Amino acid sequence: MRRAKITIVGAGNVGASCAFWAATKELGDIVLLDIPECADKTAGKALDLAQCGPIDRFDCSITGTSDYQAAKDSDVVVITAGIPRKPGMSRDDLIQTNVKIVKSVTEQIVKVAPNSVLIIVSNPLDAMVYTAWKTSDFPTNRVVGQAGCLDIARYRTFIAMELGCSVEDISALLMGGHGDDMVPLPSYTSVSGIPVTQLIPEARLAEIIQRAKMGGGELVKLMGTSAYYAPAAGSIQMVEAIVKDKKRILPCAGYCDKEYGVGGYFVGVPCILGAGGVEKVIEVDLSDEERKQFDASVEHVKELAGLAESVLK
């Protein structure tokens, strides 16, 4: 059976971490791409990672380059390229610069990997996945944003910290825009089958939800730059679902038209991920309050997409 080919565009903290997770899971051969000015550093990171193979017992080809031809016929392309968020910056502040970067990257990828599935990680996520879709002209099932996998990991982590239990026993769902706009759903959150509302008082759960929403900003303040380990882990969770055709239900920025009445935008929703990319968007029942929050989040997503559209023009 042919080994999958995974290209990661952007060899910074997020991209390099994606390459690490993908290699250790032996998901396929890996191409790590960055701009020509970073060609030597990118090649060095790839070589360094390859030399972990004998120790961690993984066996795959890892290439670090600035040549897009190396990405030819990739099955999945993870786009992490763009400037990171700095203290005091919102994700919205990044739009002007990162739309241009993601547009350029997408144009190059379309030429060499026209049948790939694009996973967008660059911020502001909701605007960048829209940019990649508009630029690529790919069918909507082959363009998806990594947002919910990260946001839900933060949400689950904080619940586990609160309860002193394993994160493995926590099942949760959230929807809407990435980060500050996300809508965690306590009604779909449980701990080993026990509704979280029976374990954590409402007021305290609201505080945990708020911390999850602001999780990216908390890390920017602590580290001086955007998070990278968890965003990368969330991205590779999606890559694995696609290259292994696992049909996993994961919270992703998927294209919704009639679904939830969104009207043609990429927003965080439960998606079935498999070899075809986003194979189905799952619609769940929302309470009146959850629906209100989701609709408000979608409106901001639409605003971000509109800003991206204005830059693309």
Q: pLDDT for 54-67, tens place per residue?
A: 999 999 999 999 99
- Mean pLDDT score, 9-32: 97
pLDDT at residue 245 tops 80: yes
Q: What is the pLDDT of residues 280-304, one digit of tens each?
A: 999 999 999 999 999 999 999 999 9
Which of 109, 212, 226, 115 has the alpha carbon at shortest distance from 159?
212
At the topology level, CATH places domain 5-145 in Rossmann fold (3.40.50)
| Rg of the chain over all Cα atoms, to the nearest angstrom | 19
What number of residues does the chain have? Answer: 313
The model's confidence at residue 85, banded by pLDDT at 50, 70 and 90, is low
Is 300 part of the annotated catalytic residue set?
no
The residue written with tokens 């986003």 in the block is 278
Average pLDDT, the chain: 94
DSSP label at residue 232: H
Widest CA span of the chain, in angstroms?
A: 55
- Mean pLDDT score, 75-83: 95
Could you give the CA distance from residue 83 to residue 62 in angstroms, rounded to a whole number?
A: 24
Torsion of CA 234, 238, 244, 248, to 10 degrees: 100
Could you give the CA distance from residue 43 to residue 41 in angstroms, rounded to a whole number?
A: 5
Instruction: Give the Cβ contact number of residue 87 at 10 Å.
Output: 11
Q: What is the pLDDT of residues 144-155, one digit of tens each?
A: 999 899 999 999
Q: What is the pLDDT of residues 94-132, one digit of tens each?
A: 888 899 999 999 999 999 999 999 999 998 899 999 999
pLDDT at residue 1 tops 80: no
pLDDT at residue 179 tops 80: no
Among 45, 178, 213, 302, the active-site one is 178
Which of 67, 84, 92, 85 has the alpha carbon at shortest distance from 9?
67
pLDDT at residue 84 tops 90: no
